[in-house]
Chains A and B, each alone.
Chain A
């Protein structure tokens, strides 16, 4: 069964075509990574898949329209801008997102090591801790599909490694299909089951070993780009 099915997706920004005629599927239970240079339309693709912007073509999430599948989707944003001096605790931000509906919030917080931060103010958290809180708010929804927009941006290498381990854990243990945007080629090539290369068009789509060829990377990033293996994963 496909978790995501996209047919002839076209996104315009004014008269400018941002994404042109995209077709792809993501199988349920997979980790799929969207890669591409800045301005290639990755974030626009996410916005369309989340039902936040108008688009042409067809998007189905678990064979339903986005609106009817929203309850099964969770999202971790790249940026979480807020006034850091505002006193909002981790517990409170999680209760805002769940609106008191989650029955397993405590268990999830323990699982992603957020329980020890419960009384801390979100303005006092490090980048890695904040990212874990955002993951927790997403998992509290008990989603079947999780969108992660550059999840390890602003986290150091060790933190990033731990973060990708957590993504793997969520995928395997919670049976959550994951779609993420990342610039970390070495990480995603080891982590993802499927790679979608974007540069307005879909430049590649398939397992990393098959699609991350020099030809494709040249097409995406120019001839300077190569993948270094990541020893931690």
Chain B
């Protein structure tokens, strides 16, 4: 791994992994707390429409996917508030609508579509400096928002009525949470692909829950578990010449199982 670290594309991959690991771990707490794993999965799939727009317009698909998924997140928050359609049905509509639009748009472009494979399974080793910078800036903004507002967000998720009476602008925070999950999901697609993205939102938090004794320690342990998972995943995938996203997910699951066994033994 140390030898590999001399290579710029490995440096970029490790940096991107560490940034996304911390971001998805902290955000994952709210995803688990609000039981919105399907939302993150849905918005990630729907962002294929944005990827396709980028491919057709000959611009970086990451940028267009970010823009379109942010708009979709705002629409979903609005539909949830203003209509009687159930939340999971709204996610289903956006999920399938976005993917279908993406497939149709990609069909308009002839030839092999490497972006489609990258969208499905991720390709962190192909990350460019411009993408890394965008990731770093966006992740810093989102993490700062989450850390500065975690009490308000947690209260809003636990009970919106109490949050409202405690002065939390619930509608605004709800929409902001959706937008941050959407943007983070799109950033995560670059690393894990849409098929595996939810793993890094859910697995590190689930592992951290086994040992954390408070909400603050849950945030700390989630980040530690996520970073360990990402570093181990990247190192092993390079060593074994296997797909990075999938190896990261397997590392996360192994860490979960080891922690589960350890906590059972320790609590006997």
Contact = CB atoms under 8 A, between A and B. Distances in A.
Do A and B interact with each other, yes or no?
Answer: yes
Interface of A: 50-52, 70-71, 73-75, 77, 80, 82-83, 85-89, 92-93, 95-99, 121, 137, 141
Contact of A87 (B164, B166, B167, B213): B213
A70 B32 contact: no
B218 interface: yes
Contacts of A121: 213-214
Contacts of A73: 165
B154 interface: yes
A83 B152 contact: no
Contact of B162 (A83, A87, A88, A137): A137
B109 interface: no
A168 to B, nearest CB: 23
B130 interface: no
B161 to A, nearest CB: 6
Given A83-B33, A87-B209, A87-B214, A96 B164 contact: no
Which residue, of B32, B151, B167, has the highest number of chain A Cβ atoms within 10 A?
A: B151
B136 interface: no
Interface string B164-197: 1111000000000000000000000000000000
Nearest to B160: A52
A99 B209 contact: no
A50 B161 contact: yes
B215 A87 contact: yes
Contacts of B209: 85-87
B32 A83 contact: yes
Interface string B60-81: 0000000000000000000000
A97 B167 CA distance: 9
A87 B165 contact: no
A80 B155 CA distance: 11
A96 B167 contact: no
A222 to B, nearest CB: 31
B158 interface: yes
Given A88-B215, A99-B151, A52 B161 contact: yes
A141 B161 CA distance: 14
Given A83-B33, A95-B151, A96-B155, A89 B165 contact: no
Contact of A77 (B152, B162, B214): B162
Contact of B35 (A83, A85, A95): A83
8 shortest interchain CB distances as A-B pairs: A96-B155, A96-B151, A87-B212, A88-B215, A92-B215, A89-B214, A75-B165, A87-B218
Nearest to B165: A75
A51 to B, nearest CB: 7
A66 B203 CA distance: 43
B59 interface: no
A83 B155 CA distance: 13
A195 to B, nearest CB: 24
B268 interface: no
A56 B161 CA distance: 21
Nearest to A134: B162
A141 B212 CA distance: 29
Contacts of A98: 166
Contacts of B215: 86-89, 92
Contacts of A50: 161, 164-165
A87 B209 CA distance: 7
B32 A99 contact: no
